[in-house]
């Protein structure tokens, strides 16, 4: 284990810099006394950077990012109505390019309803599950095209690509995580009655991997049914494993039922450690509230805890989570008048 912990920080756009600056405060504090020397390097990337320079993610920057132990990522993207940036450009050429280039095959998104947090569900029960979303293939590969664009005969295709290599590693990861949890249950979510080719690959893979984990049970849900259970009985979920697109949809819904994506953390993890993993709040750049100290930095701080876990500082990660929990328990969500920095400071104080 090296003495230094070398973290790349990409604050990004909108509320990204605000929430990341709180996460960095907490990260610094959490690393104190672990024997590690935290070194942070800021990278200016995102929509604003593109507007200023025309760069999304230059090869040299990507190469530099590879030298770090992990990446802490804020949020990127222009305001929805902003037409000065081609739609989706920053998402694809920066965020997805990072996930794909650094082989972040496990997109890990824990969902927990913390005590004291009001859920929009009338009777949420206990919610504590993780979604293991595949991060490097599926409908996200950018494969497809357009024929006769703009004419009455236009045809546009999107190709979802799924490989046994890609599916197996993420399914095995889900079972491994389930094995470490109390309930030890994996739910595969797909739509195999319609998406037969990909669906059968996913199902067969689950059946092939399951025997390696004799204590882990598993079941299957179509994605449409999964959104129903997410509403009526989210306690039924322990570990969900699913593809890139279904995972995108379900984790936003999961964020909503656990009190909003202001609390939802995520890790884009390369479990083979051939490249640095990246930790980011599930929320976006929220340009409408940017620069006003209105954003909740909790998701970014919890993402920093996932980062600590990944780099082997699990004890520090647990302390950050406990600090967040104690802060959340003391909130009056309806009237929490605190600024972004004040929430960060409170969590920092709870950590000390």
Ligand X SMILES: CC(C)[C@H](C(=O)O)[C@@H](O)C(=O)O
Catalytic residue ranges: 140, 191, 224, 248, 252
> Which residue, 163, 310, 146, is CA-closest to 244?
163
CB-closest chain residue to ligand X:
91
Task: Please identify, using beta-carbon distances, which residue of 40 and 256 lies nearer to its own copies.
Answer: 256
We find the least distance from the C-beta atom of residue 240 to ligand X, in angstroms, to be: 14
| Residue 350, both tokens | 């709870």
Residue 95 touches ligand X, criterion: CB under 6 A: yes
Question: 331-350: which residues touch its own copies (CB under 8 A)?
Answer: none
What is the side-by-side strand order in the sheet with 37-42? 37-42, 4-12, 70-75, 277-281, 265-269, 106-112, 128-134, 239-242, 185-190, 217-222
Per-residue x/- track, 291-330, its own copies (CB under 8 A): ----------------------------------------
Q: Judge whether 37 is annotated as a binding position.
A: no
Q: Judge whether 309 is annotated as a binding position.
A: no
Per-residue x/- track, 182-221, its own copies (CB under 8 A): ---------xxxxxxxxxxx-xx---------------x-
> Which residue, 218, 259, 216, is CA-closest to 240?
218
User: Whole-angstrom Cα distance, residue 58 to residue 344?
Assistant: 32
Residue 82 touches ligand X, criterion: CB under 6 A: no
Q: Compute how many residues bind ligand X; rule: CB under 6 A.
A: 8
In the Cβ-directed half-sphere of 279, how many Cα atoms lie within 13 Å? 30
> Which residue, 252, 108, 116, 277, is CA-closest to 180?
108
Choices 6-14, 60-68, 86-94, 128-136 (CB under 8 A): range interacting with its own copies:
86-94
User: Whole-angstrom Cα distance, residue 272 to residue 130?
Assistant: 20
CA angle 59, 63, 64 (to 5 degrees): 120
CA angle 49, 269, 1 (to 5 degrees): 105
- Binding test (CB under 6 A) with ligand X, winner from 248, 296, 309, 321: 248
- Binding test (CB under 6 A) with ligand X, winner from 180, 224, 333, 336: 224
Q: Judge whether 265 is annotated as a binding position.
A: no
We find the least distance from the C-beta atom of residue 183 to its own copies, in angstroms, to be: 21
Is there a contact between 183 and 175 (Cβ–Cβ < 8 Å)? no
Is there a contact between 31 and 3 (Cβ–Cβ < 8 Å)? no
User: Whole-angstrom Cα distance, residue 190 to residue 199?
Assistant: 6
Per-residue x/- track, 137-166, its own copies (CB under 8 A): --xx-x-xxx---xxxxxxxxxxxxxxxx-
Return the number of other C-beta atoms located less than 10 Å from residue 334's C-beta.
6
Choices 6-14, 90-98, 123-131, 234-242 (CB under 6 A): range interacting with ligand X:
90-98
Please, which contacts does 224-230 make with residues 24 or more away whose CB atoms are closer than 8 Å? 224/191, 226/187, 226/189, 226/250, 227/253, 230/254, 230/257
We find the least distance from the C-beta atom of residue 253 to its own copies, in angstroms, to be: 4
Residue 224 touches its own copies, criterion: CB under 8 A: yes
Residue 228 touches ligand X, criterion: CB under 6 A: no
β-partners of residue 190 are: 222
Residue 42 touches ligand X, criterion: CB under 6 A: no
Per-residue x/- track, 171-200, ligand X (CB under 6 A): ----------------------xx------
Binding site for ligand X (CB under 6 A): 91, 95-96, 193-194, 224, 248, 282
Binding site for its own copies (CB under 8 A): 80, 87-88, 91-92, 96, 118-123, 139-140, 142, 144-146, 150-165, 168, 191-201, 203-204, 220, 223-225, 227-228, 230-232, 245, 248-253, 255-257, 260-261
Could you tell me which residues are annotated as the binding site for Mg(2+)?
224, 248, 252
Could you tell me which residues are annotated as the binding site?
99, 109, 133, 224, 248, 252, 284-296
């Amino acid at each position: 284990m090296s003495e230094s912990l070398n973290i790349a920080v990409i604050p990004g756009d909108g509320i990204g810099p605000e929430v990341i600056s709180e996460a960095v405060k907490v990260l610094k504090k959490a690393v104190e006394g672990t024997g590690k020397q935290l070194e942070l390097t800021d990278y200016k990337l995102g929509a604003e950077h593109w507007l200023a320079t025309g760069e999304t993610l230059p090869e040299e920057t990507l190469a530099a990012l590879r030298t770090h132990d992990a990446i802490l990522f804020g949020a990127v993207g222009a305001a929805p109505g902003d037409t000065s940036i081609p739609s989706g450009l920053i998402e694809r050429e920066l965020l997805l390019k990072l996930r794909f280039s650094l082989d972040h095959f496990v997109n890990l998104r824990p969902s927990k309803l913390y005590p004291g947090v009001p859920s929009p569900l009338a009777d949420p029960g206990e919610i504590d599950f993780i979604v293991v979303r595949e991060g490097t293939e599926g409908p996200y590969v950018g494969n497809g095209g357009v024929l006769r664009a703009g004419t009455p005969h236009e045809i546009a295709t999107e190709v979802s690509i799924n490989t046994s290599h890609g599916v197996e590693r993420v399914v095995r990861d889900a079972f491994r995580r389930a094995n470490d949890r109390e309930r030890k249950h994996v739910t595969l979510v797909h739509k195999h009655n319609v998406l037969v080719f990909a669906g059968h690959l996913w199902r067969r893979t689950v059946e092939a991997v399951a025997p390696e984990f004799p204590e882990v049970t598993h079941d299957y849900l179509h994605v449409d049914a999964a959104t129903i259970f997410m509403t009526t009985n989210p306690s039924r979920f322990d570990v969900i494993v699913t593809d890139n697109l279904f995972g995108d949809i379900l984790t936003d819904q999961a964020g909503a039922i656990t009190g909003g994506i202001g609390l939802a953390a995520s890790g884009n993890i390369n479990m083979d450690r051939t490249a640095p993993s990246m930790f980011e709040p599930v929320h976006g750049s929220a340009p409408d509230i940017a620069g006003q100290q209105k954003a909740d930095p909790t998701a970014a701080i919890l993402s920093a805890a996932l980062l600590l876990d990944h780099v082997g500082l699990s004890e520090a990660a647990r302390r950050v989570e406990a600090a967040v929990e104690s802060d959340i328990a003391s909130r009056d969500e309806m009237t929490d008048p605190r600024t972004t920095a004040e929430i960060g400071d409170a969590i920092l104080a709870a950590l000390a």
